[in-house]
Amino acid sequence: MPEISRRAALKALGLATASAVAGGAVATAAFHSQEQAQAPGASPTAPAQATATAVPAATATPQPTATTAPAPAVELFPFEGIHQAGVITDPPQAVLMVALQVLGEKPDDLVKLMQILTARTREMMAGQIGVASAEDERFPPHNTGDLGYDPLTEGRLSIMLGLGSSLFTLDGKDRFGLASKKPIALKPMPRDLVGDRLAGSTMLDGDIFLQISSDHPLVNMHAFRDILKNTKGMVSPVWVQPGFQRYFQNTQPGEAKARGLLGFKDGTANLDTKDADLMAKLVWTGSEEPTWAQGGTYVAVRIIREQIERWDRLNLSQQEASIGRVKTTGAVLGNTTETALPSYADDPDGKIVPLNSHIRKANPRLGEESDKRRMLRRGFLYDNGIDKSGLLDAGFLFQGFCRNIEEQFEFVKRNYMSNRHFPKQNTGVQDLDEYIFCIGGGYFFVPAGVKKEDRFVADTLLLG
Ligand code: HEM
């Protein structure tokens, strides 16, 4: 655990009585998978989610063995809140993206599935791994055992759930009687976006998308395994992609906390998640959506392969011209400070920041016209080894969170980045497209958070 979290955790020892009691409540509510199918389960009373809270592990669950050493603190994101965790919560170091196909055919099947997914998410996000009561040998063990038998010591797990358009309509059929309630901009990810190589892709779409993220791949794997165990016969995985990131500790406000595999700082000009007005304007859905879909968000998930060997043979100024920023500092070309804003109006021909550079294409800074297109980026990196040619099979797991996916992500992609005549005649597509191509992903709608113990994700959609 990073030093900062440990300090926060120690401080919280004196303050977190309510959380600790709540954690204990969850522990005593641990139950068998068969029983979980009947009930969504008990949960901690958590504050509206924003940042992780720290609770002492020793009080979060009964310990199977006595120990005199102080127990490590567990850092948790509250499950309950206005919005689901995993959108504006600080991104942890590892992700497991999972797309599921729903096997059930009746509305009740979907209700039961969402109740189980909610119950498992609620319990695992509370740091529990299912060891509270005695085992019954007629059933599989409570705990898969892959994380041992302590509460989760690598914290900050969140499981964010999104809905694909195929859950509402598939091949023209209203699968669960939900077609009329579909979010206004939800549809399958378009197959005609310039530069994409989706033909034959097995990594596309899905009825349900899970962004399982925590500070360790094993925790993510545990969560996925637990979900599969508890939803047997109800879902089938369509595609799964692990990813990772490393964050710098000592950054100033506004500076990026990470770098991508192309070597550039990632996150410099991202939206400020602490700016509630900005989030309300650009990320969270509002009155334009059906009532059940308000307070949610859309996410464009794009699995983007990077042609790293080609990129690594470019000289430094070619790389910097392609992105539009200085590689070491992250500053916009022509500037020395990472947080300084570009001034494209003073550089109309792109002599300083090329017109086809990534940042100028992604956000041309045209005032309100392009400000309203911005999105919250929450990306991870991936490394799938090598392909059949021996080339690195690695890249970027892009996630763009938008209040309206067509007006933001898709508009930017089609009308700015891939438009050969933007911002000027014959500019060409963005230069970066020579080194990247999208191989999969999907569009998903992320419902609002679960606000009370007896509620489950998307219940207002499913129960009316
Ligand atoms: C492999 C793919 C990608 C790479 C390597 C990449 C890399 C970068 C880098 C290095 C920056 C500058 C630092 C920062 O502000 O975070 C940036 C900014 C940005 N990227 Fe990407 N990006 C990728 C894909 C995308 C996609 C698919 C979109 C959305 C359509 C996107 C939208 C943006 C936006 C909006 C900015 C901020 C521009 C600004 O406001 O100045 N990026 N990206």
Indicate whether 236 and 334 sit together in one domain: no
Residues 224 and 331 in one domain: no
Ligand 1 closest atom vs CA 359:
38
Tokens of 70: 């102080």
Q: How many CB atoms lie within 10 A of CB 316?
A: 11
Give me 366's structure tokens: 């045209």
Q: Residues 314, 319, 324, CA angle at the centre, nearest 5°?
A: 165
Q: Domain for residue 281, yes or no? A: yes
Classify residue 21 by its DSSP letter: H
Q: Report if residue 331 sits inside a domain.
A: yes
Distance 191 CA to ligand 1 centre (A): 21
Beta bridge partners of 376: 401
For residue 168, the SS3 value is coil
Residue 184 lies inside a defined structural domain of this protein: no
Predicted pLDDT of residue 5: 37
| Ligand 1 contact via 380 beta carbon (within 6 Å) | no
Same domain, 76 and 209: yes
The whole-angstrom separation of Cα 356 and Cα 418 is 10
Q: 143 and 231, same structural domain?
A: yes
Q: What is the pLDDT of residues 13-62, one digit of tens each?
A: 222 222 332 333 322 222 233 233 333 233 333 333 445 554 433 333 33
Least confident among 19-23, 283-287, 351-355: 19-23
Tell whether 183 is covered by a domain.
Answer: no
Specify whether 153 is located in the same domain as 194.
no
**Whether residues 61 and 88 fall in one domain:** yes
- Give domain status of residue 229, yes or no: yes
User: 118, 449 in Cβ contact below 8 A?
Assistant: no
| 401 pocket-lining for ligand 1 (C-beta < 6 Å) | no
Long-range contacts of 316-323 (CB under 8 A, 24+ apart): 319/262, 319/263, 319/264, 321/354, 321/357, 321/431, 322/357, 322/358, 322/431, 322/432, 322/434, 322/435, 323/262, 323/264, 323/357, 323/358, 323/359, 323/432
Same domain, 221 and 299: no
Q: Is residue 250 part of a domain?
A: no
* Neighbour count for residue 106 (Cβ, 10 Å): 11
How distant, in Å, are the alpha carbons of 109, 176, 371 from that of 114?
Answer: 9, 13, 36
- Kindly state whether residues 429 and 402 are assigned to the same domain: yes
Q: Are residues 234 and 291 in the same domain?
A: no
For 179-195, write each residue's pLDDT tens digit: 999 999 999 999 999 99
CB 354 near ligand 1, within 6 Å: no
Structure tokens at 459: 């219940």
What's the residue count for the chain?
464
Mean pLDDT of 441-457: 97
Domain that includes residue 232, residue range: 3-164+205-244
The verdict on 224 and 193 lying in the same domain is no
CB of 238 shorter than 6 A to ligand 1: no
Q: Are residues 276 and 240 in the same domain?
A: no
Regarding the beta carbon of 398 and ligand 1, being less than 6 Å apart is answered: yes
Which residue's CA is minimally distant from atom 8 of ligand 1? 266
Ligand 1: centre distance to CA 323 (Å): 8
Q: Are 26 and 77 within one domain?
A: yes
Q: What is the pLDDT of residues 82-104, one digit of tens each?
A: 999 999 999 999 999 999 999 99
pTM, 2 dp: 0.87
* 176: in domain: no
**436 found inside a domain:** yes
Give the count of domains, the chain: 2
